[in-house]
Structure 1
Amino acid sequence: MSLQPVRDFFAANAPEITVIVTAESSATVALAAAAYDVEPGQIAKTICIRAGEVTALVVMAGTSRLDNRKFRDRFGIKPRMLAGDEVVAVTGHPIGGVCPFGLATPLPIYCDESLRLYDEVVPAAGATNAAVRIAPDHMAKLTGATWVDVGQIQADENPTAKA
């Protein structure tokens, strides 16, 4: 379980943030939205990609998908999603618990602009039933993430935008 490295990360970098552990799984966007009583878009999903020789994390709104054209325009290469065992090996987190905190390996982290539709997002926290509540800009600052526009919000989603 990779919950402890995430707790250690927050203890060292943002002790005001509490890791929330639920009895039910929050391993998918739908399960997480129900478990934490938020809109699906507020679930900050973390995907692990490889672009050439670089492995990186992209954190985006739960209702967004990685847009390969935007990614290629931004980085000059097409991304490839890592297989589950590769994700666990580089992040130290299980599928459904992958997050940009307490990583087993230092990785470049990118936050997609789709997260900025919300004042608060809920990324996983190293386990399939753990998460944190955090402002997107605070998450980016804590993780040293770079903001990018590589996501595509799904047409059926109508997020609540900031006022």
Structure 2
Amino acid sequence: MNSSAAPSEAHPRFAEALRELGLDVEVRRFPEGTHTAAEAAAAIGCELSEIAKSLVFEADGLPVLVLVDGASRVDVELVRAELGAEKVRRAGADLVRETTGYAIGGVPPFGHRTRTRVLADRGLLEHEVVWAAAGTPHTVFPLAPEALITHAGGTVVDVREKSA
């Protein structure tokens, strides 16, 4: 398995975002793809919580990106309260692609087609490095969570479901 690659392995839009931000990160490509956080963690050899999921929700009709660790689920009610929205739900595949320019399973935390509000769950900060999609279900990159949240323009909040 070829696990090291140049940023050219990333989705072209995301590779351009990396250049614009002056970020030199290692983009890893996995031939079999990593469509879920669990598949990505297994391929990388890291903890599930070290995967940064980029999830798009629809809040009163507007897209919002939520960054959360791979071991956690987003509490939609906490997102709703954070945004002061009436109604929040997971965005459909069309809205995800329209908003970000990427397909579900490959959405990176930044480098999107449009500027959207970004909420980043505080749990990401529990790690030295997190791994996020690099624009495709086959590519990931590592970054310190603080830098990832900053580049995404995220606000640190508590939006993950509390464990029982």
Query: Fold-level match, TM-score > 0.5?
Result: yes
1:38 aligns with 2:46: yes
Q: Name the structure 1 match of 2:96.
A: 87
Question: What are structure 1's unaligned runs of at least 5 residues?
Answer: 156-163
Corresponding position of 2:135: 126
For residues 69 and 103 of structure 1, the distance between their equivalents in structure 2, rounded to whole angstroms, comes to: 25
What is residue 20 of structure 1 aligned with on the other side? 28
The size of the alignment, in residue pairs, is 155
2:52, 2:67 within 8 Å by CA — same for their partners in 1? Answer: yes
1:55 aligns with 2:25: no
State which of 116, 119, 122 in structure 2 corresponds to 1:113. 122
Distance 1:31 1:4 in 2: 23
For the residues of structure 2 that align with 1:6 and 1:60, how far apart are their CA atoms? Answer: 19
Alignment check: 8 A CA contact 1:7 1:19 kept: no
Closer/same/farther in 2, CA of residues 29 and 137 from structure 1, 3 Å limit:
same
Cα distance in 2 for partners of 1:49, 1:73 equals 14
From 102, 118, 122, the counterpart of 2:111: 102
Superposition TM-score, scaled by structure 2 size: 0.87
CA distance in 1, matches of 2:109, 2:41: 19
Q: Once superposed, what is the RMSD of the aligned Cα atoms?
A: 1.8
1:91-144 per-residue CA deviation (whole Å, 9 max, x = no partner) reads 111111012222111111121111112111111110011111011101111122
Q: Could you list the runs of 5+ residues in structure 2 that have no partner in the other structure?
A: 1-9
Q: Report sequence identity in percent.
A: 32
The offset of 1:153, in angstroms, is: 5.3
Contact 1:40 1:63 in 2 (8 A): yes
- Cα deviation, 1:58-99, whole Å, max 9, x if unaligned, reads 010011111123223322224111111221111111111012
Partners of 1:65 and 1:154 within 8 A in 2: no
Secondary structure of the structure 1 residue equivalent to 2:142: coil
The reply on whether 1:140 has 2:120 as its aligned counterpart is no
Aligned AA (2:106) = G
Give the alignment's TM-score, normalised by structure 1: 0.87
